[in-house]
Structure 1
């Protein structure tokens, strides 16, 4: 039995030494000691020129100003009692950069005339009805998300002079009624200012739109790629009236992120957004997208590149079965698990870079880690060849071209007459993205890509 065991062991050693397949044992480089996925997201700035048609402001104001607009039931204080109704739609026109507002009104009232002598009341009252067109002039502004105005009565045109009939004769009472105009003019001015304020309140619409836009959406099924825009601040210039429309420039400060694998976890908080007034806004959209590839997802994509390929010299060949990636000292560690003429895992190091032509992430200055090179020199010197290393390096890359194109494609519907709500339209253009930089975290490669374009928001036909 002892002789048989020695014989079998000897045969095993002989088989091992004659085998064409050798085992490589290289020391595995440990990953960097960071534990959290923390990286600095770059800030993007989107300029949104906003236009609101004067006709829409007119439509909305008419909804708020209706029916009875002024009522005075006390005749004793000034000998006049009045009720004023709006009789037809209010008309808005632009005049020298201000709003001219015309309100047709009907006035029903009672006028008291006469005297009091020796303690005897000798007054009489007469009821009258008349019509007038009241013209107001208003400046337009924007404050705390809402349209503001400063409305003043400019002109009152009576259809006929106010008068009452006494004993068959018409007696003018303009001298009594005109002073009361001061009373209801202030009331109507305030009514108009409040109506304009309520008509264009940007806050709920803008915040709802931003909340919708901030939700992550998948831009590529194959690579499990997600895109998210996270608003952080809003800016706005003062409103200006010109060419039958009110214009203002709104700016959105945000971060844009593209992730591979799991969707971004950031949550938009409406209550944290503040509208800040500024004097001017750039016209162009400046966007920086963080394209995040987790090491696990990048490893899976690169492993696919090696499928069906052999690397070697003559009969000595290896096949890469699996690729693993991690970072160490701001460099990428590439672990290649292989079978064939040698079995085991070899380790390479490289610097991640971006090819703007092919839109690929690749690893530059790739080389064997020192311990791996020593092991190869001992067991498979042919594998240490620069030619084989170059061929391996060619496969250590993955494209984000489809991700960027798909992201741009998915953003196009939001730039082509997109209507988040009735009467609100978004249009714009987006240029191609350009590479900015790459950063490494403990478990992700982040490529920052810059882009630019133009976006405008128009309010037309708001209901």
Structure 2
């Protein structure tokens, strides 16, 4: 059902600002162009508790689709001396009664019986016609994601008097048929149980919902941010029967990612997801979102942040025209292309960090790269005095409070009767997002955000 969102990417792009080395050396340290190898980082799994509610009306609808017209045909007279056809004449109705499902089934039954002995051909057959409504009660359980029932016929209400064919004539036998109905009961009850099991296999529904939720979707057009959910395991508890619905708890173990740049590939694999039965699932939803900002996309965003800004020291001033970022030895390298009192590229290094009080990302140990210092000693010693560096560093911080608030707000449509497919509805609530940590990889900066909340899924009105 869907936890996800939106300018988390901006957030991480801001993690981008620092470095190490001389022009010649820095160029040598730049990474090779990105390839298609998977991005590797220490991703924390999320756990989503999704209480699942399936209306009896939905099960009734699925059952009626499964059972239509002729619902049973046994044409072999020799195996048990009985042929039988059962035809459904109107819609089946399901009702909860005393913790069990009551099934009301309007039907017609035609049966042929063989009686007597085969010795010297001393046997005969008779045909019986029944038209009425059968009421059954069923114990309910969920096994291997299939709803299964054990049904027992409780009552018959005849629309027409039961009859038997004698010498080509229909003879009413109501007075004798009711006590002998046991011959039909096991066959009809078994057929209903099989139909419920076949029409109420919830695993395909769950997989379809997960596949929809696993398709990466755009969360921010401006920053080309995408959200992606990767299911790992699904858990389910025993089903319980309510007045109008069947309830069970689903648990989803998954990874959540927000990525900046081109649309991530969809790699949903139904066969790789493990399904496990459990006795209890924690009520709380815990989401750990890995927000990923590639260096290329981060460089573009930071360049736009510097656009039009002047850094002044006395009579000297510089403007940052372009920013390039990459990673080296767990530090962020930031290359600042400048014009003004200095025309050229200055390289800085720093470590991304986070201030939980101000909700800002900032950079510790920011300094000029060693060989840059040597260059500045000869040409722009004034830049080494720390004034410009301090001003740059002051600008190399980014409040993510608004982004966290916006991210939470952008999740709300996915928690307010969100329908990933017809007949499936997701609702829930989330608490505030908390920034956890930053990790630096060869390809991107990864920021981890956590939140808690609640979610529920309702199935009603599927095709």
The verdict on how the C-alpha distance between 1:163 and 1:403 changes in structure 2, with shifts beyond 3 A counting, is same
- Looking at structure 2, the residues matched to 89 and 387 of structure 1 have their Cα atoms a distance apart, in angstroms, of 82
8 Å contact kept, 1:25–1:344: no
- Looking at structure 1, the residues matched to 432 and 312 of structure 2 have their Cα atoms a distance apart, in angstroms, of 40
CA deviation after TM superposition for structure 1 residue 75, in Å: 8.5
CA deviation after TM superposition for structure 1 residue 67, in Å: 4.2
The verdict on how the C-alpha distance between 1:421 and 1:319 changes in structure 2, with shifts beyond 3 A counting, is closer
The verdict on how the C-alpha distance between 1:330 and 1:80 changes in structure 2, with shifts beyond 3 A counting, is closer
2:346 paired with 1:354: no
Question: What aligned pairs does 1:296-315 form with structure 2 within 5 A after superposition?
Answer: 296-315=296-315
- Looking at structure 1, the residues matched to 401 and 71 of structure 2 have their Cα atoms a distance apart, in angstroms, of 62
Match of 1:94 among 93, 96, 115: 96
8 Å contact kept, 2:313–2:387: no
1:318-354 CA distances to partner (integer Å, 9 max, x unpaired)?
A: 2223222222222222222323323433332211023
The verdict on how the C-alpha distance between 1:126 and 1:403 changes in structure 2, with shifts beyond 3 A counting, is same
The match for 2:67 is 65
Question: What aligned pairs does 1:394-433 form with structure 2 within 5 A after superposition?
Answer: 394-398=394-398, 407-433=407-433
The match for 1:388 is 388
- Looking at structure 2, the residues matched to 388 and 172 of structure 1 have their Cα atoms a distance apart, in angstroms, of 105
The verdict on how the C-alpha distance between 1:187 and 1:25 changes in structure 2, with shifts beyond 3 A counting, is closer
Question: What aligned pairs does 1:233-248 form with structure 2 within 5 A after superposition?
Answer: 233-248=233-248
Q: CA RMSD in A?
A: 3.9
The verdict on how the C-alpha distance between 1:134 and 1:380 changes in structure 2, with shifts beyond 3 A counting, is same
The match for 1:277 is 277
The verdict on how the C-alpha distance between 1:217 and 1:392 changes in structure 2, with shifts beyond 3 A counting, is same
Greater RCO between the two (CA within 8 Å, min separation 6)?
A: 2
8 Å contact kept, 2:131–2:162: no
Question: What aligned pairs does 1:1-400 form with structure 2 within 5 A after superposition?
Answer: 28-29=25-26, 31=29, 37-69=39-71, 84-107=86-109, 129-131=129-131, 133-156=133-156, 178-179=179-180, 181-356=181-356, 360-398=360-398
Which is further off, 217-226 or 100-109? Answer: 100-109
CA deviation after TM superposition for structure 1 residue 375, in Å: 4.1
CA deviation after TM superposition for structure 1 residue 446, in Å: 0.8
1:391-417 CA distances to partner (integer Å, 9 max, x unpaired)?
A: 111222456667655654554333221
Which is further off, 48-57 or 327-336? Answer: 327-336
CA deviation after TM superposition for structure 1 residue 451, in Å: 1.8
Unaligned 5+ segments in structure 2 are 1-20
The match for 1:3 is none
TM-score relative to the length of structure 2: 0.79
CA deviation after TM superposition for structure 1 residue 441, in Å: 0.8
CA deviation after TM superposition for structure 1 residue 370, in Å: 3.9
- Looking at structure 1, the residues matched to 210 and 368 of structure 2 have their Cα atoms a distance apart, in angstroms, of 48
1:97-124 CA distances to partner (integer Å, 9 max, x unpaired)?
A: 22122334445567899x99x9997x99
User: Which of structures 1 and 2 has the bigger CA Rg?
Assistant: 1
- Looking at structure 2, the residues matched to 199 and 171 of structure 1 have their Cα atoms a distance apart, in angstroms, of 36
Unaligned 5+ segments in structure 1 are 1-23
- Looking at structure 1, the residues matched to 377 and 392 of structure 2 have their Cα atoms a distance apart, in angstroms, of 18
Number of residue equivalences: 434
CA deviation after TM superposition for structure 1 residue 231, in Å: 1.5
1:348-385 CA distances to partner (integer Å, 9 max, x unpaired)?
A: 22110234566553322322334434543444332222
